[in-house]
């Protein structure tokens, strides 16, 4: 697997594409700004949401059991999965019990995390993603590059080519309306023939055992309303205590994502309709480990709005795939090291610690502080030897004022006297595309000493 910086370097070979990608995603951030600025008490709303989620994380066991109890009394089957494998097996067993051949699925980052699609395909179950963006990347055999806009890395013209190849559509010169209609026509057949529908869960309400799925396309609803079996997959952190808390999160979620006041569909599911079976699979997959860690616990407050990606100047210029993790961007960079520290060790360094992610986050996760904390852990567990040597040298120099003064003189002389060909050698990464600063004759300290 490439490190983030290697993947980002690749992505940056095509500068006009980087500009296009940056602009497309910045547009989401701008719309978010317009949306949130209409709410004068936005900061208070964030604080309220954060406090509700902190309460949830402190009493997660109680709320989960309450949720289970209520869901069972509503006639819903509840399953618990320790990890992705267990989750996939539970889903497969339900599908097998109902002899499901064809399945529709609305957007769920959890099923991405568990690799559900390839798993079910092994058992010859046809699984069709019904969110437009998800469908596009499914046809392209790619992974989502963003959590709310999974195909944002693809241009309309590329989707046109893809649909021609996969759906047999005529060329449309990237006509968005035409392409949406083509996807709709194709998906309609899939909806009508599905034996089961899988959805994600945005919010699970402990007091009622109900859960809420947010989409803009209505695809979750259409799938669920047509199929005889509904399986909803959720991470343990999706709980909110009471129905009255839902409004807080619905106001924050869509506004933070793209400035919409609310998602077009915010559908509440309580119990199966007559003749239908409803299942909820509740998944841990490393979350309780994150919960146990004081420094990283509150990353579980995340409601998956994607605002930290849209604001991140690095994400916008490196693309979601450069992170190599299910959840990309700043939040992905604090969640992923918990899953595999070594594999994702470059992610907490894919940041300037500018803090924009923390300020944009609707549930006030201190993302940039957690990136800083992961850095300390990663360099202890898997130190980068070159960096370690450089920092050990810094340590020595900065601890000893006299040595610091001498190193300063030598460095400035070297910059002044060495020929450019030597100064700008291969190891001087700073100087590849940047000039070094001019080396003054005297440091400030030398000037000050002479002055007094």
d(CA 314, CA 210): 38
- 82 or 406: whose CB is closer to another protein? 406
| 232's tokens | 């909803």
- Nearest approach, Cβ of residue 68 and another protein (Å): 37
- 8 or 90: whose CB is closer to another protein? 8
- Nearest approach, Cβ of residue 434 and another protein (Å): 3
CB 42 within 8 A of CB 179: no
d(CA 303, CA 85): 23
- 278 or 303: whose CB is closer to another protein? 303
Rg, the chain, Cα only = 25
Torsion angle, CA of 371/373/375/381, rounded to 10 degrees?
-140
Sign of the alpha-carbon torsion through 390, 392, 395, 400: negative
- 75 or 440: whose CB is closer to another protein? 440
- 9 or 98: whose CB is closer to another protein? 9
Strands 265-269, 211-215: pairing is: antiparallel
- Nearest approach, Cβ of residue 227 and another protein (Å): 41
CB 130 within 8 A of CB 189: no
- Nearest approach, Cβ of residue 54 and another protein (Å): 20
- Nearest approach, Cβ of residue 107 and another protein (Å): 25
- 156-167 and 176-193 are packed helices; what angle lies between their axes, rounded to 10 degrees? 40
- Nearest approach, Cβ of residue 447 and another protein (Å): 5
- 167 or 354: whose CB is closer to another protein? 354
- Nearest approach, Cβ of residue 28 and another protein (Å): 13
d(CA 70, CA 200): 19
- Nearest approach, Cβ of residue 12 and another protein (Å): 4
DSSP string, 244-257: GGHHHHHHHHHHHH
- 176 or 410: whose CB is closer to another protein? 410
Helix residue spans in 313-384 (DSSP H): 313-318, 329-339, 356-360, 367-381
- Nearest approach, Cβ of residue 18 and another protein (Å): 6
**CA distances from residue 444 to 375, 412, 441, 448, 451 in whole angstroms, order as listed:** 32, 13, 10, 6, 10
User: How many CA atoms, within 13 angstroms, populate the side-chain half-sphere of residue 8?
Assistant: 17
Sheet holding 126-129, edge to edge: 77-81, 277-283, 229-235, 196-199, 102-105, 126-129
d(CA 346, CA 332): 12
- Nearest approach, Cβ of residue 97 and another protein (Å): 48
- 107 or 255: whose CB is closer to another protein? 255
Q: How many CB atoms lie within 10 A of CB 311?
A: 25
| 206's tokens | 């402990």
CB 312 within 8 A of CB 344: no
- 123 or 430: whose CB is closer to another protein? 430
- 11 or 67: whose CB is closer to another protein? 11
Q: How many CB atoms lie within 10 A of CB 161?
A: 16
């Amino acid at each position: 697997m490439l490190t983030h910086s290697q993947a980002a370097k690749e992505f940056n070979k095509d500068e006009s594409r980087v500009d296009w990608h940056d602009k497309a995603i910045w547009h989401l951030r701008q719309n978010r700004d317009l949306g949130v600025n209409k709410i004068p008490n936005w900061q208070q709303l964030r604080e309220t949401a954060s406090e509700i989620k902190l309460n949830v994380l402190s009493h997660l066991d109680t709320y989960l059991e309450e949720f289970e109890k209520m869901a069972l009394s509503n006639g819903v089957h509840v399953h618990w999965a320790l990890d992705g494998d267990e989750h996939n097996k539970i889903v497969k067993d339900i599908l097998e019990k109902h002899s499901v051949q064809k399945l529709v699925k609305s957007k769920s980052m959890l099923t991405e995390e568990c690799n559900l699609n390839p798993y079910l395909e092994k058992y010859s179950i046809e699984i069709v993603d019904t969110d437009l963006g998800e469908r596009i990347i499914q046809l392209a055999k790619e992974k989502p590059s963003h959590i709310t806009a999974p195909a944002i890395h693809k241009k309309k013209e590329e989707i046109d080519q893809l649909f021609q190849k996969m759906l047999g559509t005529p060329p449309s010169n990237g006509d968005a309306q035409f392409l949406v209609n083509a996807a709709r026509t194709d998906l309609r057949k899939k909806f009508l023939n599905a034996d089961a529908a899988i959805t994600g869960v945005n919010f699970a309400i402990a007091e009622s055992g109900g859960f809420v799925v947010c989409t803009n396309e209505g695809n979750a609803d259409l799938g669920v309303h047509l199929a005889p079996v509904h399986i909803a997959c959720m991470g343990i952190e999706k709980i909110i205590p009471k129905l009255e808390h839902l409004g807080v999160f619905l106001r924050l979620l869509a506004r933070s994502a793209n400035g919409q006041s609310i998602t077009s569909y915010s559908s509440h599911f309580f119990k199966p309709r007559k003749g239908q079976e409803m299942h909820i699979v509740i998944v841990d997959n490393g979350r309780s480990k994150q919960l146990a860690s004081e420094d990283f616990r509150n990353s579980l407050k995340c409601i998956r709005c994607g605002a930290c990606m849209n604001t991140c100047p690095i994400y916008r210029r490196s693309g979601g795939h450069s992170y190599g993790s299910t959840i990309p961007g700043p939040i992905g960079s604090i969640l992923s090291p918990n899953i595999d520290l070594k594999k994702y060790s470059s992610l907490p360094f894919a940041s300037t610690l500018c803090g924009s992610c923390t300020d944009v986050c609707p549930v006030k996760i201190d993302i940039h502080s957690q990136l800083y904390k992961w850095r300390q852990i990663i360099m202890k567990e898997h130190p980068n030897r070159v960096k370690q040597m450089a920092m050990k040298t810094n340590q020595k120099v900065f601890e000893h004022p006299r040595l610091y003064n001498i190193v300063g003189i030598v460095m400035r002389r070297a910059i002044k006297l060495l020929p450019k060909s030597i100064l700008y050698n291969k190891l001087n990464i700073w100087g590849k595309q940047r000039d070094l600063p001019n080396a003054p004759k005297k440091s400030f300290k030398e000037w000050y000493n002479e002055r007094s």
